[in-house]
Amino acid sequence: MKLSEFIEQYFDFHAELNLKKKTIVGYRALAPIIESSLGHLRSDRITPQQITLFYRNQLKRGVRRKVYYHCQINLKKLVKDRGYATEPLARFAGMAPSTLRDALNGHDVSEKTAQAICKALKLPMSKTFTADGKDKPLSNNTIRHYHSFLSSVLGVAVKWGLIPSNPCERATLPKKEKTRPRYLDEEQAGKLLELIEGEDMQFKTMIKMFMFTGMRREELCGLEWKDIDFKTSVIRIERTSLYIPHEGIITDTSSSSAVLGRHIRLVCLDLASPFVLSPPRGACRGPLYTIAPPAISRRPRLPSNCSWSTKDGRLRSAFRWATDG
């Protein structure tokens, strides 16, 4: 059986039953490049040398030509003038809010994203985006993502008795790149707290919860009132909830998740927000927040030189919500 054929069986009979939706979406994004390079090979004849060569080729400039699309107009101003909010517009266009924010902030996007934005806003593609072809090699860390996916696929092939061993275990991987975490210093954090004081209580609470608890976005969105013990100032992480393109909102309560069952003690719970200290009357059931909260017309802004990104994706969302207004 060719590798490309087995990959489809992997998704149909293994991934859908054993992997989380977010993982499946990520793996499906990786599959086309693997299939274009190794898909024609028989699964039982793939060697560690062929896999190592595949990794090396992806690191060479010019092997993979990717076309990006750059917006020619001030898309953020256009969206604001039309009165559209980011979250509802992203849902209407069929993409993740973070993808739309990238486009609004002037970053290059894929052809599919550019077409979806033009369709949603009823704009001509030729006058809105320009194509920019770039020879862009994959990074070492991205290669390691491909390795994880391919190793998972061939590991299932071993389990099913289709191949005797997993060649990925003997392939040579590029070194893992060390990334330096970026974060707000005390002055910038104080500035952020200043800027959000006049904002809607819900969004102010979200950002403060990120800052003082270190929660991930999906953890915060999965919180329910019953998860907060106001007497002992403890928050229990019992589920995660996130939006996946073309899948909708996915809530995970699987005990296999590393984050679930974790307890966070808030020594200074009053700093998080009066909203958290004292839940609204009649609102002590169900989620505290939703994935797509009601749109607000204005969001706080930080100086352009402020960056907010730390390991494990913690606190990243707070910065994006604060700066993408």
Are 206 and 298 contained in the same domain?
A: yes
pTM of the model: 0.62
Q: Are residues 250 and 159 in the same domain?
A: no
**Alpha carbon 194 to chain centroid, angstroms:** 28
Q: What is the pLDDT of residues 196-224, one digit of tens each?
A: 888 888 888 888 888 888 888 888 888 88
Within a domain: residue 218? yes
- Both structure tokens of 54: 């595949």
CATH of the domain at 43: 1.10.150.130
Burial of 308 (0-12, 13-18, 19+ CB in 10 A): buried
- Please give the C-alpha separations between residue 165 and each of 43, 162, 170, in angstroms, as whole numbers: 11, 9, 10
pLDDT number for residue 274: 44
In a domain, 272, yes or no: yes
Same domain, 219 and 309: yes
- The contacts of residue 14 (CB under 8 Å, 6+ apart) are 156
Whether residue 260 has pLDDT greater than 60: no
Q: Which of 101-105, 130-134, 155-159, 304-308 has the highest mean pLDDT?
A: 155-159
